[in-house]
Amino acid sequence: MDFKLEYKFSDVDKEYKNLFNDLVKFITILIVLNLLMFMSNPSQNSFLGSTYLKLMVYIVLGLCTYWLVISKVIIFD
């Protein structure tokens, strides 16, 4: 039994595909990191607490800023 989420982005520009891929990648890493921190010491760490959610939002905003602004201003060959 195979379960796979597959989205077709035929009308979306390649840079937005990369942005979406990076967003999914970073959010997955951050949630797994928070889950492992919570499992290692639940009394001191909360799962998806308000401070951690703010950190995630800031990281996602920084990532979006990079893909939508910085990558257009500074071009790496």
**Residue 2: predicted pLDDT:** 79
pTM: 0.79
- Contact partners, residue 18, CB within 8 Å, separation at least 6: 67
3-state SS class at 74: coil
The tally of domains found in the chain comes to 1
49 pLDDT above the threshold of 70 = yes
Predicted confidence (pLDDT) per residue in 3-48, tens digit: 877 777 777 787 788 899 999 999 999 999 999 999 999 999 999 9
Task: Answer yes or no: is 2 within a domain.
Answer: no
Whether residue 26 lies inside any domain: the answer is: yes
Per-residue pLDDT at 37: 94
User: Is residue 22 situated within a structural domain?
Assistant: yes
Q: Domain for residue 58, yes or no?
A: yes
**Domain residue limits at 34:** 14-73
SS (H, E, C) 6-23: CCCCCCCCHHHHHHHHHH
Q: Report yes or no on 33 lying in a domain.
A: yes
How much is the pLDDT for 6?
75
DSSP state of 44: T
